[in-house]
Amino acid sequence: MTIATQDAFTTDDGRLIGPTLLEVKGITLKFGGVTAIENISFDIREGEVRAIIGPNGAGKSSMLNVINGFYHPQEGEVWFKNELRAPMKPYQIAYQGIARTFQNIALFKGMSTLDNIMTGRFTHMSSGILAQALWKGSAEREEFVNREKVERIIDFLEIQQIRKTEVGRLPYGLQKRVELGRALAAEPKLLLLDEPMAGMNVEEKEDMSRFILDVNEEFGTTVALIEHDMGVVMDIADRVVVMDYGKKIGDGTPVEIRKNQVVIDAYLGISHD
Partner 1 sequence: MILFDPFFWEVFISGLLAGVMYALVALGFVLIFKASGIFNFAQGVLALFAALTLVGFQTGQVPFAHLLEAVFGLHVTHWGDGMPTVLALLLSLFVMIGLAWLIVKIVLRPLVNQEGIILFMATIGLAFVLEGVGDLMWGANVKRLDVGLPEGPSDFLLDHTGMFIEKLEISAAVVAMILVASLMLFSQYTKMGRALRAVADDHQAALSVGISLETIWWVVWSISGLVALVAGVMWGAKSGVQFSLSLIALKALPVLMLGGFTSIPGAIIGGLMIGVGEKMFEFYIGPMIGGATENWFAYMLALLFLLFRPQGLFGEKIIERV
Partner 2 sequence: MIYREAGDFKTTYKADQETFPIRLDKVGFWLSVLIVVFVIPLFLNDYWEKAVFLPFFIYAIAAIGLNILTGYCGQVSLGTGGFMAVGAYSSYKLMTSFPNLDMFVVIICSGIVTAFVGILFGIPSLRIKGFYLAVATLASQFFLVWLFNKWEWTYNYSATGQITAPERDFLGVVVTGAYSAPWATYLFCFGFLFIFGWMARNLVRGHIGRSWMAIRDMDIAAEIIGVNPLKAKLSAFAISSFYIGVAGALYFSVWLGAAEPTEAFSIDKSFDVLFMIIIGGLGSMTGSIIGAAFIVLLPVVFKTVLVGLLGWPTDIAEFTQIILIGSLIIFFLIKEPHGIAALWRTLKQKLRLWPFPY
Residues near partner 2 (CB under 8 A): 68, 70, 89-91, 94-95, 99-100, 102, 106-111, 115, 118-123, 125, 127, 129, 132-135, 139-140, 143-144, 147-148, 151, 182, 186
Contact 211, 180 (CB under 8 A): yes
Site string for partner 1, 82-111 (x = CB under 8 A): --------------------x---x-----
- Which one, of 208, 173, 174, 214, lies nearest residue 193 by Cα? 208
Beta bridge partners of 30: 35
Beta carbon of residue 101, minimum distance to partner 1 (angstroms, whole number): 11
Are 182 and 111 in contact by the 8 Å Cβ rule? The answer is: no
270 binds partner 1 (CB under 8 A): no
Phi, psi of 98 (to 5 degrees): -115, 125
Residue 221: which of partner 2, partner 1, none does it interact with, CB under 5 to 8 A by kind? none
Distances (CA, A) of 43 to 9, 48, 77, 94, 162: 16, 11, 12, 19, 37
**Which of residues 105 and 262 has its CB atom nearest to partner 1 in the complex?**
105
Ramachandran sector of residue 258 (left: φ over 0; alpha: ψ -120 to 50; beta: rest): alpha
In whole angstroms, the minimum distance from the beta carbon of 29 to partner 1 comes to 14
Minimum Å gap between C-beta 93 and partner 2 is: 8
Strand order in the sheet with 247-252: 98-100, 190-194, 222-226, 49-53, 239-244, 247-252
Residues contacting 49, CB < 8 A, separation 6+: 212, 213, 216, 222, 223, 225, 236, 237, 238
x/- mask, partner 1, residues 184-223, rule CB under 8 A, reads ----------------------------------------
Smallest gap from Cβ 80 to partner 1, in A, equals 20
Given candidates 19, 28, 70, 206, which one binds partner 1 under the rule CB under 8 A?
70
- Residue 95 interacts with which of partner 1, partner 2, none, CB < 5 to 8 Å by class: partner 2
Q: 66 and 27 in contact (C-beta within 8 Å)?
A: yes
Binding mask 45-64 for partner 1 (x = CB under 8 A): ----------------x---
Q: Tell me the site size for partner 1, rule CB under 8 A.
A: 5
Among 49, 53, 65, 167, binds partner 1 (CB under 8 A): 65
Is 119 or 260 the residue whose CB approaches partner 2 more closely?
Answer: 119
Cα–Cα distance for residue pair 52/10, rounded to 1 Å: 22
Residues that bind partner 1 (CB under 8 A): 61, 65, 70, 102, 106
